[in-house]
Amino acid sequence: MAWTVRFAAGAEKTLLKLDPPVARRIIKKLEQIAAGDPRQTGEPLQGDERAWRYRIGDWRLICDLANVSRTVYVIRIGHRSDVYRS
């Protein structure tokens, strides 16, 4: 059974602002993540057991995985140089 992908408002806004080739790569990666087990392709964030990160070239996705509803919530999309800063 596939997972559902949902975006936080800020993450969706960032995705729409990206160059089209980068946005397509991110969407393609999200489709791959949702088709299988999201824990096999990403890495957990330190200090948070539900937050996971995914690498797409120089870009990173910060996601929250909800097991019960099988939903991947994309919290943040950003360049690797500043995505982890608060």
The residue extents of the domains of the chain are: 4-79
Of the chain, the percentage scoring pLDDT greater than 90 comes to 85
Task: Kindly give, in sequence order, each residue whose CB lies less than 8 Å from that of residue 62, ignoring residues fewer than 6 positions away.
Answer: 45, 51, 52, 53, 74, 75, 76, 77, 78, 83
pTM: 0.90
Which pLDDT score, from 0 to 100, does residue 80 have? 94
- Name the pairing type of β-strands 51-56 and 59-66: antiparallel
Lowest mean pLDDT among 8-12, 66-70, 82-86: 82-86
- Return the amino acid letter for 29: K
CATH superfamily of 4-79: RelE-like (3.30.2310.20)
R_g of the chain, CA atoms, integer Å: 12
CA distance 83 to 86: 8
Mean pLDDT of 25-41: 94
